[in-house]
Structure 1
C-alpha cells in the first residue's frame, strides 16, 4: 500500500478504540475504489479472547466484560459512517448482542456482563442518535 492511498483514505478512527477499527477503514477505502484481495493460502495464529466456549456448532471467544462493551458500543457506531451500509451495521449490532447474551447465560459473572451490555447499548444508541441530530440540523435530513 502506498502513502498516497493512506493520504486519500485517512487514518483509522481512534474513537473505535479496539473493535471495528480495521473494518471501518477497509469499508471507507472500498467506498473510494480501493481494491482488496484475499489470499486463501496464508495462515495466521491469532488468539481472540481469553478462552473459547462451544455453543451448539459455534466457537465463541470469551472477552472480559470491558472488551465486550467496546465490541457492542462500536457495532452501533458503525451506523454513523456513510460508507458502512446499514445492513452491515445492523448485522454487527445483532450478533454482538446475541454473543453477549450467550456469554451472560454461560459465564459466571452475570451481573457485570449485564451491566456492560446495557451500558454499551446506551452509549451506542446515544452516539447514533446524536449523529442523527447533527446530520439533520446540518442538512435538513438524515444522510
Structure 2
C-alpha cells in the first residue's frame, strides 16, 4: 500500500484491501444512483416544459381552424398525470424521500462505520499508485 495522499483519504487502520474495494464499489454504485436522480430531474423539467408549451399549441390550432385538435389536446394532455395520480414533481419527491434517501443513508453509514467517513479511499490509493514521480501534472495533492 502506498503512502496516503492526505489524511482525508487515508485508509483507516485495520481496513483490508477487500473492505476498501467493497466500500469503493458501494460509493461508485451510489454515484450511478445520483446520476439516475439527475436524469429523473431532467425528465421532470422536460415534461413540465413540454406541458407548458401546449397552451401555445392549443391557441395556434384554434386560431387556424382546428378546434377539434385543440380540444383533444386540452382534454387529454394538459394536466395529465405521467403515472397514476402523479405529476413528475411527485415522482421526484417520492424518489428522493424513499429510494434515494435510503441509498444516501446506507452509503454514508457504511463509510462512517468502515472508513471513518472518508470518501474515495479506493480512488485515492489508485491515484497514489498511478502517479509517476516528477511526471507532468501528477502532483499527489493541490
TM-score tier after normalising by the smaller chain length: 0.3 to 0.5
Q: TM-score, normalised by structure 2?
A: 0.33
Q: Whose relative contact order is higher, 1 or 2, with alpha carbons under 8 Å and at least 6 apart? A: 2
Q: TM-score, normalised by structure 1?
A: 0.32
**Richer in strand (by share):** 1
**Richer in helix (by share):** 2
